[in-house]
Structure formats: structure tokens, C-alpha cells
């Protein structure tokens, strides 16, 4: 038995042949003994077990260790105080962020008007089915109607709480409200009384104003209780001469502070100058006034002056091309190229962009009737029945819609475009350029040329501006094929073709 144990010890202490040292004559070194095969065993008496508590206390009390501990303690606190002082210095010297201005849902994205729900998508039931499509456009509010029952120019037939049965029922409207709210889309109901009037008198004339206004107040309370988020009225200046304050109290009254921010009163103001519009905003107290100033001020200089006048009211302004009369943008655009330019302007101007259904694709207008909306652009363009002309038109619709979505998404995520300051850069008869900036965020320059000839713009801020423009900027979006996205443009020489526009950007520089 002992022999077997001894043999195992020998085997364990043997080196593998591959691990044995090489010698010139093939023999092991040191007369046959194997190098490095020395086995040592430390006795228990020689093993290190550490210092005892008494020994540690004795060593710790020596003057050398006491001084070392004090030095380390002082260095630790000096380092900690240095880091604290550095953090305070960074906070003090860092530029302070500007407080975000008060924002409501109608300030956070475009409004989408559907005056004729039947032409849009087969009534209110069709509107509900198309909410997924609308939501892709980053729309924040739907403006529906008017579709209450009334006979043209007959105030005695006005029933503001009843929906015209040809467009749907109250149940259909409630379904729209429920689904829209789930998607974060608010719904505004147009209660313009005489919307079918042959003579353009939405309030049936001055003689009926007080009585009709009382009916509107009653109906507004009813629909707001049903879940509608706002009320829209036409001829705001006419309504303001009546008892509009009571209607405003109905919209805002008996609600918490959060509910007041969710409900809005919207009015349409046409044919007014910038100064008159500013005064009307103050007198009426409406949350949003949809104006036709973009259409009435055809020259860039006039428009720039109007924007300067309304700078303090920009959070309560709604802009549109054709929106005040619920006409498609294509009816106001002299060419297809101008549709994209108008969209660029609406999304980058300070205020709320307001579109009619079909504006997102450049739907052609049909005089006297609301045009039928075109859906499933890619599917229809590939159908066997479509000819080359129809396919080209559908492709154009699809491209315009992509452009619209890009602008809407950009506005929704960039603070400078959402609520930034506005500063004029350049204006002429057919051109306009302006800067949108907010605190330390990315800055954006919009430059448009709606004229029929090429224009070169030299962009510059006023001498009183808080900062200077950089020498160049990056193309973010452009309708001009000569300006590719991500390319660099010199700001003292921005050349735009006829009917073209560009959105440039440059970073904040502290």
C-alpha cells in the first residue's frame, strides 16, 4: 500500500517530457536531476497570520502613522471642497435658460379644418376612420363643420344643437371625439350660425346678432359638455360688437386651471390690417384669431411690417392660405411649386398654422364646391386603370405630403420654430427672409421667393440684435433643386429660383 502511494508522489512530481529542460546531450541537467522540481512546504510555524488587534493598535498610535492619517484626511476634504467649488462656478457661469412661454395645445402643432365631412371621407363616420392618417401629419387639432341644421339666411330655422343628418349623428361625433382624444388630437366645432347664407352674413345681419349670440352661447355650453375642446366662429369683428364676453365665459367658466388651458375660442378675422387685428385680439379676448393677412399682404415688405406689428400677439395668431374661407391652398397658389413654399411659410412663421383638408397633398380646388379628398396615393397610382397623367399627379400628391410631414415633424421638435423669437432678415416685393431663434437651441432661417424671377438675398440682422449671423448655414429643407439638403450656403448670398424657398439652420454659439 505504501509503495503505491510513493509511486503516485513520484508521478505527480515528474515533469511531462514536453516541459523538461533541453540539454545538448539529451540528458537532464545536474546529473539527471530535473531542474525546477524542488518541492517546498512551509511549516505552520512559518505561515503569516497577520497582526493581532493589540499589535495594530500599538502601530497605529505611532507618530508616523498619526501624521499620515491627518495628511490623508486633509487631502480628502480639500479635494471634496475643490470639486464643490468647481461645480458652483460652472453653475454660476453657465448661461441661464430662458423660461418657456405659456403654451396651449393649439400652439403645439397645426390645425386641420374639415368643412365638408362628406367630401372629406363620407361623413363623420369616415372622419373617424381617417384619424390614423390625420395623426401621421402631427396635427394637434381638428376643426369640424359647420354641420348644424339651418336654412340659408333663415334665423328661425337655426338649430345649433342638431347635426345635419346627411353628414352623421351625435353618436358619430362622439366616436370621433373619443378616438381623436386617444391620439392626442383636440376637436373644435365650428358654430358659425348662417354658414349656408347666400349673402355673406354669418350672423344673419346686425339686427339678429344678440339673439343669435345667445343661441351660440347655449349651444357652446352643450357641445363643450359633450367633450368638444373648442368653439370656432366666423366674422370675429362682427361677433365682438355683440356680447362676446359671455360666450368667452361659457368656454372658460366653471373649469379648473388645467381645463381652461384645454378649451379654446377661435375666431376668423378677414380684411383687417395688422394694427386692427392686434386691437381686435385685445378687445375680443379670443384664444386664437385666424387671419388672411398672408393673402392680403402680397409684398414681402408689407408682410414683414405686419409681422413686426403683431410680434407681441404671435401666440394668438392663426395663419393660412385660403383657411379663413375654408378654401384649399391650391386656389391661392398660382403654381404647384408655391404650395410647398406656402407650407414652408406657415410652419415656420410665429403662430399657429391652419390648413384645410387636402392642403397636405396640394389637392386642387373646385370653385363652388368642396373637392373630394384623394386617399391611398401609392395604391391608386399603381392601379391598372390609372393613366400616365393620373399617376404623375398622384406621385406629386405623395411628394407634397412627405414635404408637409417633414415640416410638421420639424416644427414639433424644434423650440426655435415652436415658440422662438422672430427677427426680420430681408424683404422685398417678392421675397421674405426671417430668423427663428430660442435661447441655446438650433436657429432657423426661412427664405422664400414667390416672384417669377430669380432673386439673390443678402441676409443680415439689425445692428441692435443680441448676436450676429454666422457667415454660412446648413440647408435643412429646400424646394429649390439647386440647394441640396445638408449643403452649406453663404448667408450674404442666398440665391433662390422663382417660386422657391429654403429652410436653413445653424447652431447656437455661446
For the stretch 282-300, pLDDT in tens is 999 999 999 999 998 778 8
The answer to the question of residue 142 being in a domain is yes
Q: Convert 283-320 into a string of H (helix), E (strand) and C (coil).
A: HHCCCEEEECHHHHCCCHHHHHHHHHHCHHHHHHEEEC
Choose the final residue of a domain: 399, 420, 441: 420
The answer to the question of residue 349 being in a domain is yes
Q: What is the pLDDT of residue 467?
A: 82
What is the grid cell recorded at 472? 454660412
What is the grid cell recorded at 129? 376612420
416-465 pLDDT per residue, tens: 999 999 999 999 999 999 999 999 999 999 999 999 999 999 999 887 77
Looking at the predicted structure, is the pLDDT value of residue 261 above 80?
Answer: no
**342 and 457 housed in the same domain:** no
453-477 pLDDT per residue, tens: 999 999 998 877 778 899 999 999 9
**456 and 370 housed in the same domain:** no
In which band, very low, low, confident or very high, does the pLDDT at 47 lie, cut at 50, 70 and 90? Answer: low
Q: What percent of the chain has pLDDT over 70?
A: 86
The answer to the question of residue 278 being in a domain is yes
**415 and 434 housed in the same domain:** no
Give the residue numbers spanning the domain of 67: 63-93
In which band, very low, low, confident or very high, does the pLDDT at 504 lie, cut at 50, 70 and 90? Answer: very high
Alpha carbon 126 to chain centroid, angstroms? 27
Choose the final residue of a domain: 367, 385, 420: 420
Q: What is the pLDDT of residue 130?
A: 97
**289 and 362 housed in the same domain:** yes
Q: How many domains does the chain have?
A: 3
Q: What is the mean pLDDT of the chain?
A: 87
The answer to the question of residue 1 being in a domain is no
**297 and 334 housed in the same domain:** yes
**438 and 312 housed in the same domain:** no
Q: What is the pLDDT of residue 46?
A: 60
383-416 pLDDT per residue, tens: 555 588 888 999 999 999 999 999 999 999 999 9
Q: What is the pLDDT of residue 30?
A: 43
Residue 300 class from Cβ within 10 Å (0-12 exposed, 13-18 middle, 19+ buried)? buried
How many degrees, rounded to 5, is the angle at CA 454 between CA 453 and CA 456? Answer: 135
**393 and 273 housed in the same domain:** yes
The answer to the question of residue 332 being in a domain is yes
C-alpha 114/C-alpha 386 separation (Å) is 27
Q: What is the pLDDT of residue 355?
A: 98
Looking at the predicted structure, is the pLDDT value of residue 2 above 80?
Answer: no
Looking at the predicted structure, is the pLDDT value of residue 27 above 60?
Answer: no
Buried b or exposed e, range 127-144, using 16+ CB within 10 angstroms: bbebbeebeebbbbbbbb
Looking at the predicted structure, is the pLDDT value of residue 110 above 50?
Answer: yes
Looking at the predicted structure, is the pLDDT value of residue 95 above 70?
Answer: no
Residue 450 sits in a domain whose CATH number is 2.60.40.1180
The answer to the question of residue 99 being in a domain is no
Looking at the predicted structure, is the pLDDT value of residue 213 above 50?
Answer: yes
Q: What is the pLDDT of residue 12?
A: 45
Residue 358 sits in a domain whose CATH number is 3.20.20.80
**260 and 346 housed in the same domain:** yes
**328 and 233 housed in the same domain:** yes
**308 and 432 housed in the same domain:** no
CA-to-CA dists, residue 463 to 206, 303, 486, 488, 510, angstroms:
49, 21, 29, 25, 19
310-339 pLDDT per residue, tens: 988 989 999 999 999 999 999 999 888 899
pTM: predicted TM-score of the whole model, two decimal places: 0.81
Give the residue-averaged pLDDT of 120-142.
96
Give the residue with greater pLDDT, 78 vs 262.
Answer: 78
**230 and 361 housed in the same domain:** yes
Choose the final residue of a domain: 72, 93, 114: 93
**416 and 429 housed in the same domain:** no
How many degrees, rounded to 5, is the angle at CA 187 between CA 239 and CA 316? Answer: 50
C-alpha 142/C-alpha 186 separation (Å) is 6
Amino acid at each position: 500500500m505504501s509503495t503505491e502511494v510513493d509511486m503516485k508522489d513520484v508521478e505527480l512530481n515528474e515533469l511531462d517530457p514536453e516541459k523538461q529542460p533541453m540539454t545538448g546531450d539529451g540528458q537532464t541537467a545536474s546529473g539527471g536531476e530535473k531542474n525546477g522540481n524542488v518541492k517546498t512546504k512551509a511549516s505552520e510555524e512559518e505561515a503569516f497570520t497577520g497582526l493581532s488587534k493589540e499589535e495594530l493598535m500599538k502601530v497605529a498610535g505611532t507618530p508616523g502613522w498619526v501624521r499620515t492619517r491627518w495628511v490623508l484626511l486633509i487631502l480628502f476634504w480639500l479635494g471634496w471642497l475643490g470639486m464643490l467649488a468647481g461645480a458652483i462656478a460652472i453653475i454660476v457661469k453657465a448661461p441661464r435658460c430662458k423660461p418657456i412661454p405659456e403654451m396651449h395645445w393649439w400652439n403645439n402643432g397645426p390645425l386641420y379644418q374639415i368643412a365638408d365631412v362628406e367630401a372629406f371621407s363620407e361623413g363623420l363616420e369616415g372622419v373617424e376612420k381617417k384619424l390614423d392618417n390625420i395623426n401621421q401629419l402631427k396635427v394637434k387639432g381638428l376643426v369640424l363643420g359647420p354641420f348644424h341644421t339651418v336654412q340659408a339666411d333663415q334665423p328661425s330655422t337655426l338649430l345649433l344643437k342638431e347635426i345635419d343628418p346627411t353628414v352623421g349623428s351625435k353618436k358619430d361625433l362622439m366616436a370621433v371625439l373619443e378616438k381623436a382624444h386617444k391620439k392626442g388630437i383636440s376637436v373644435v366645432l365650428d358654430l358659425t350660425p348662417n354658414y349656408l347664407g347666400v349673402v355673406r352674413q354669418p350672423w344673419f345681419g346686425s339686427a339678429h346678432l344678440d339673439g343669435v349670440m345667445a343661441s351660440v352661447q347655449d349651444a357652446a355650453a352643450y357641445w363643450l359638455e359633450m367633450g368638444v375642446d373648442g368653439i370656432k366662429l366666423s366674422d370675429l369683428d362682427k361677433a365682438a360688437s355683440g356680447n362676446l364676453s359671455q360666450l368667452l365665459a361659457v368656454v372658460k367658466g366653471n373649469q379648473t386651471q388645467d381645463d381652461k388651458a384645454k378649451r379654446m375660442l377661435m375666431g376668423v378675422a378677414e380684411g383687417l390690417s395688422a394694427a386692427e387685428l392686434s386691437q381686435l385680439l385685445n378687445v375680443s379676448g379670443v384664444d386664437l384669431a385666424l387671419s388672411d393677412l398672408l393673402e392680403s399682404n402680397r409684398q414681402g415688405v408689407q408682410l414683414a411690417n405686419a409681422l413686426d406689428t403683431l410680434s407681441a400677439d404671435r401666440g394668438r395668431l392663426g395663419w393660412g392660405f385660403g383657411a379663413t374661407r375654408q378654401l384649399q391652398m391650391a386656389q391661392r397658389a398660382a403654381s404647384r411649386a408655391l404650395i410647398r413654399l406656402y407650407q414652408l411659410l406657415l410652419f415656420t412663421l410665429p403662430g399657429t398654422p391652419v390648413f384645410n383638408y387636402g392642403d397636405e397633398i396640394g389637392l386642387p380646388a373646385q370653385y363652388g364646391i368642396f373637392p373630394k379628398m384623394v386617399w391611398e396615393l401609392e395604391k391608386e397610382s399603381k392601379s391598372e386603370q390609372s393613366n400616365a397623367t393620373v399617376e404623375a399627379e398622384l406621385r406629386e400628391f405623395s411628394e407634397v405630403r412627405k414635404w408637409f410631414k417633414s415640416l410638421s415633424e420639424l416644427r414639433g421638435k424644434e423650440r426655435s420654430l415652436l415658440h422662438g423669437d422672430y427677427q426680420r432678415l430681408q424683404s422685398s416685393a417678392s421675397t421674405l427672409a426671417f430668423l427663428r431663434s430660442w435661447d441655446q437651441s438650433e436657429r432657423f432661417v426661412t427664405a422664400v421667393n414667390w416672384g417669377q424671377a430669380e432673386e439673390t438675398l443678402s441676409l443680415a440682422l439689425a445692428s441692435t440684435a443680441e448676436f450676429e449671423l454666422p457667415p454660412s448655414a446648413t440647408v435643412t429643407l429646400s424646394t429649390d433643386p439647386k440647394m441640396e439638403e445638408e449643403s452649406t450656403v453663404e448667408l450674404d448670398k442666398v440665391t433662390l429660383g422663382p417660386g422657391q424657398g429654403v429652410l436653413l439652420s445653424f447652431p447656437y454659439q455661446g
